[in-house]
Amino acid sequence: MKITPLGDRILVRRIEEAEAKRGGIIIPDTAKEKPQQGKVIAVGKGRMEDGKRIPLEVQKGEKILFGKYSGTEITLDGEEYIIMREEDVLGIMG
């Protein structure tokens, strides 16, 4: 299924971090925090301001860092994604 975000929204897939062991203890999946990094899958056309469209700074394919409770989680074709506003992006990872 193809989805195109509207306005200043972006579609993000979380980037899973490698499993970490602390002191030899394996942390179960249910106790792990979800990663706050992701890859931009699709972007909207931008926000409207004074009748003009302002394009987004974030582009498709970039890795981003976002807030812990940012966006809305959705499932498409069995994969989990997040739709969020560009303002929820804390930074672009280079």
Number of domains in the chain: 1
Domain containing 7: what range? 1-15+31-57+66-88
Residue-level pLDDT at 16: 78
Higher-confidence residue of 27 and 77: namely 77
Q: What is the pTM of this model?
A: 0.80
List strands edge to edge, sheet with 89-93. Answer: 72-76, 79-85, 9-14, 37-43, 63-66, 89-93
- Reported as a single tens digit per residue, the pLDDT across 4-60 is 999 999 999 999 765 555 566 766 666 666 778 999 999 999 999 999 999 999 999
Q: Is residue 70 part of a domain?
A: yes
